[in-house]
Amino acid sequence: MKKTSSVNPFKRGFAAVLGNEKSQGITIPVFAILLSLVACAIIILALGKNPLTAFTSLLQGSGVLPKVTYAAKKSMFTDFMSMINEFTPMLFAALAVALALKTGLFNIGVSGQMLVAGFIATITVGYSKLPMAAALPLVLIIGIISGAAVGALIGWLKHRFNINEVVTSIMLNYIFEYLISYFINSYYINAISRQSQAISASASLTLANVALGGLKVDIPLGFILTIPVAFLVLFLLNRTRLGYELKVVGLNRRAAKYAGINVGRSLITSMALSGALAGLAGVTLYMGYYTSIQPRVLTSVGFDSIAVCLLGNMHPIGILFSSLLITVISKGGNYMSSIVGVPEEITEMITGLILLFSACGAFIRYRVSITKEEITEEKLRAKSAAAAEGGEKA
């Protein structure tokens, strides 16, 4: 009567590790990351290099592990701070995507909103002679407001004319990209760098080359905001009346109406809040990580942030970790290519693979749940077979 199990032990193992629905928020992204690292290792091996050295050098390059030697006035700390400088806008952008997704909207226009915020803050505060104490708060406020305004416009278009936010935000990306290029090229261009004129040092959110214990370090002030903002988004979504309303609207618009929620206002609010976070990302990128804007280029941060957000399971705390991971890899890429001798593009490939695999999270979850069902079914069948046998004997 003994039947061979239809579920192979390999699958059983996966179901056991990934099957717990409560911890799936963590286990599945980690599994996705491991899968992508394995895939990358295979590619690096195929190039005839040692994947372990490659991965270590990634961490060294981004200041997580110490390098063997450092140039004058540089140390692991300098590398680390420089990585954090890049991490800051990525986190805000990913939070912007997450807030929209959690409330049932897809903000694919984060890059455009970042550009608008960065540009407006640049021409208002960046080119002014305001002292730092006045300039920096103003940069943040202007960034938030201009990002929110673009977001609100997208939300309003959706509410008023029922235009899908994906369409409007993508189209607005182009409109802003070229409109702002026009202004930069006409009024603010630096003839040598072909970028906008650099902003004044007192308006930069990143303090460049600060002498600190014999080192020259970049200090990204925006970083101070990252963790509080992540927790603020979490609090807003889970603990406030506004968050409750936005989520109901996102999950079920008809139920929201039934509950007496003003659906249109909620849509606009969701997009405005998402835009505000994108605005923060914009000023920390263009007025911190960079000090100028390159015309006719949309930053990839706004698009990468979508995947980063998914990798972080749309949860603000998860996003803290996923943005850190992605930034570490992209930052360490330069060093890896020089140490291991693989092209720098490989790092972008690693990032791409991680994001690709993390986007498969839902698929992995689905496969795991199917396997789990197969296992329970088999158990049931075994049980009833055993019962039948017992019955026959009796």
* Residues lying near another protein in the complex (CB under 8 A): 239-244, 247-248, 251-252, 254-255, 257-262
CB of 242 to another protein, least distance (A): 7
CB of 258 to another protein, least distance (A): 5
Are the C-beta atoms of residues 196 and 292 closer than 8 Å to each other?
yes
CB of 265 to another protein, least distance (A): 11
CB of 259 to another protein, least distance (A): 5
Q: Closest CB to another protein among 151 and 243?
A: 243
CB of 376 to another protein, least distance (A): 16
Q: Closest CB to another protein among 48 and 260?
A: 260
What type of residue sits at position 83? M
Q: Closest CB to another protein among 175 and 251?
A: 251
Length of the chain equals: 394
CB of 314 to another protein, least distance (A): 13
Q: How far apart are CA 54 and CA 6, in angstroms?
A: 40
Q: Closest CB to another protein among 69 and 162?
A: 162
Q: Closest CB to another protein among 158 and 247?
A: 247
Three-state SS sequence of 241-282: HHHHHHHHHHHCHHHHHHCCCCHHHHHHHHHHHHHHHHHHHH
Are the C-beta atoms of residues 303 and 327 closer than 8 Å to each other?
no
Cα angle 182, 187, 193; round to 5: 85
Q: Closest CB to another protein among 183 and 244?
A: 244
CB of 362 to another protein, least distance (A): 15
CB of 358 to another protein, least distance (A): 22
Report the SS3 class of residue 38.
helix
Q: Closest CB to another protein among 237 and 346?
A: 237
Burial 246-255 (b: 16+ CB within 10 A, else e): bbbbbeeeee
What type of residue sits at position 10? F
Q: How far apart are CA 281 and CA 321, in angstroms?
A: 17
Copy the structure tokens of residue 350: 């690693």
Instruction: Using DSSP bridges, classify how beta strands 206-212 and 215-220 pair: parallel, antiparallel or unpaired.
Output: antiparallel
Are the C-beta atoms of residues 15 and 371 closer than 8 Å to each other?
yes
Q: How far apart are CA 311 and CA 313, in angstroms?
A: 5
Q: Closest CB to another protein among 216 and 253?
A: 253
